[in-house]
Structure 1
Amino acid sequence: MNRPSLYRLGILPLTAALLLGCSEKKPPEPVRPALYIVVQPQLADQLGRFAGNIEARYESTLGFRVPGRIVRRYYDVGAVVRKGDILANLDPTDQQNQLRSAQGDLAKVQAQLINAQATARRQQELFNRGVGAQAQLDTAQANLKTTAASMQQAVAAVNQARDQLSYCDLRADHDAVITQWKAEAGQVVSIGEEVVTLARPEIKEAVIDLPGPLAEALPKGIEFLVAGQLDPNVNTTAHIREIAPQADSATRTRRTRLTLDQTPPAFRLGSSVSVTVSSPIAEHFELPLTALQETDGHSRVWIIDPHAKTVSPHDVNVLRRDGQTVLLAGGLKGGDYVVSAGVNSLTSGQKVRLDKESSQ
C-alpha cells in the first residue's frame, strides 16, 4: 500500500505557513543611549557675588590730647591690647617744664599765704587790744582772701600741668585689637590728630561694596551667604545692618555692613570673604537649552523612568532663557532624570539606555 504524500496530509503547507510567519515578525526596536541630567530645584535667584572683609562693628581712632613728637610705639598692627595699656609716647620735655613752673608758682603762693595768714592774725590781735586800726585789719584780711584764691589757682595749675604730662602717654580706652597706625615714631602730631585705630573684637561683621542700583533694589529681609575665600566650607548667613546713604563718588558703590548670624573662628578681623547675594523665589529648575522641546506652542521635557528605562514627555513653563540654559517651572521635581540632548527624535514609551559615562 502506498504511503500518503506529505502534501495530501497537509503537513507541507502547514510547515510553509509557519516558516512564512516567522520571516514576517518585526525585529525588536533598538535601545538608544540617552544623555541625561539629574535635576535639582533652585530656591533662590543669584544676584551676584562680591568680595568683602571681616571688620569690627565698633572701631575708635585715638590721638594725643597734647601736641608733640612721638618717641615710641609699643605695639604693631594686629596686637591685642587691654584697657589702660600704653600704646605710644610723646617727648614729655615741654610738659615736664610746665609742671615744674606750676609747682614753683604753687610754692611761691603757699609762702605768700602763710605770710598773709600771720599778718591777718597779728592785726586781729592788735585790734582786739584796741591798739590796731580797723583799716589795717581790713587790708590784712582782704590780702588773706586774695592769697587764698591765688593758692587755689596755683593748685589747679599744678593739676592741669600734671594732666598734660600724663597725656604724653596714649592709652587704650578699652580691650581691643590694633588695626591701623596713622603716625610713626619721630613724627610731630597736633592735638587730636589721628594716630591709631582700635577695633573691638567681640562683635564682627562683613563689609562689602554693592553697586548703587542693586543696593537700592534689594528686597527687605534678603539673606546673604558669607564664605571664607581660602576655605569656602567655612560660611554663615548674614543680613543687612546698614547701607551707606550715599554712593562713593569714584566707584558709585555703596558700603554695606552685614550682621553675621554666626561668627566662625576662621573669620578673623581683616580676613577676606566672598559674599553671595540671593533672593528667595518659587521653586524652579535650570536646564540646558537642548533639553527643551517646543512643538505646537507647548514646551516640554522628556523624563526617564530609571526603572523601566523608558521616556515620557512632561509639559513645563519657561521662565527665562539665558544663553545656553533655560529656567523652567512646573512639571518637574528634584531627582528627575531629564534627557538633555536629542529630544526631537524621542517617542513616548521609547526604551533608552542610561550610560553613566554620557550623563551630564
Structure 2
Amino acid sequence: MQLYNTLSAKERADLLEQAGEDRLTLSFYQYAKIGNPELFRNHLFVAWDELNVLGRIYVAHEGINAQLSVPAKNFGKFKEFIDGIYFLKGVRLNIAIEHDLKSFLKLKVKVRPKIVADGLNDDTFDVTNKGVHVDAEHFNKLIEDPNTVLVDMRNHYESEIGHFQGAITPDVDTFRDSLDIIEEDLKDHKEDKNLVMYCTGGIRCEKASAYYKHKGFKNVYQLEGGIIEYARQVENKGLDNKFIGKNFVFDHRRGERITEDVIANCHQCGNPCDTHVNCANEACHLLFIQCEACSKAMETCCSTQCKEVIQLPYEEQKKLRRGIPNSNKIFKKGRSEKLKFKK
C-alpha cells in the first residue's frame, strides 16, 4: 500500500502535461476532534492517490486544513468520499476562480501539531465560541458602518498585492504575530466597535474570532469562506466588489486576480506589478514581487549574487548550499535587504 509520493515534482508535471485533463483547484478546512491523526492521514492519502488528487493537506488532533487539485472528472467521487466522513459531510469547498493544471504537483498529507500555526494554547479559551459568520452581502453592509473596524488576518506579502478597501493590514510575517498586535491596537474599542475579520479561505479567522471574544471583544464577525468565497458570491449575485487587486493563494499560481487593479510594485525596479516569484537560486528561494522585465534581466533571481550562483554547474551549487541554513531567508517573504523597492 503506497502511503507517500514516488514521483518527483518534475515527473508529475510532465504527466499532467501529457494527460491534459481539466483539474479543479479547491480548499477546505474543518475543526474536529481526530483521535488518531496518523491513521486518518493514511486513509486520506490512499483514497486521494487513487483519484489522482494532488495538494497540501495538514491533519492534526484539532482537524484538517486542505488545499487541493482534483481532476474534474473525479470531482463527484472526491465529493462522495468527503461526505462519507462524518465531520466533513457537507463541508464548504472553496473552489478557485482561476484553475491551473499545475497548481499542485504532489500529494502531501502531513500530520502537524496544529492545522494552522497560531501559537495559541487552546486549553485557555473556548475555541467553539466563534464570531458571527457573514456572507458577502452582509459583509459589505458591515464594512460600510462607521462603527466597524475591518482587519486583514493575513500576512504582509498577501495583503500587499490585494486587500479590502479601508482594511487594517498588519505588517506581519506570520498569523501568530498579528494576534497580539491587533488586540493592542484595538484595546480601546472592544465594546463600541464591530470587529470584522477576513482571510484567504476563513480558517485563520475561525480561531482568531474565538480568541478575540475570549479577550473581551463583544461584536466579532468573520467573512464566511474568506476572499475566495466572497469573490464567487460577488460575481454570482452582482454585488459591489470591495476587494481590490489579487488574492494571494498557497499553490503554484501564487495569486488569483479579483480586480484589474495592480496595487503593488516590483521589488527590484518599482514599476507596478503584483506577480510573486521565488528566487531561482535554490539556496535562496526568496518569495518576492518581480515584473517581466526584471525577471528576464535577473533570470528570476532576487540579486546579482543569486544570478551568479545559478550560472554555476548544479553540483557546484549543491556544494555551496551544503551546511548553510536558509530557512530564515526563505520565509522572510520579501524582507531581504537586496530588494530596493520592497514594501
Higher share of residues assigned helix: 2
Pairwise same-fold verdict (TM > 0.5): no
Q: Scaled by the length of structure 2, what TM-score is found?
A: 0.17
Which structure would you say has the larger RCO, counting Cα contacts within 8 Å and 6 or more residues apart? 1
Higher share of residues assigned strand: 1
Bigger CA radius of gyration: 1
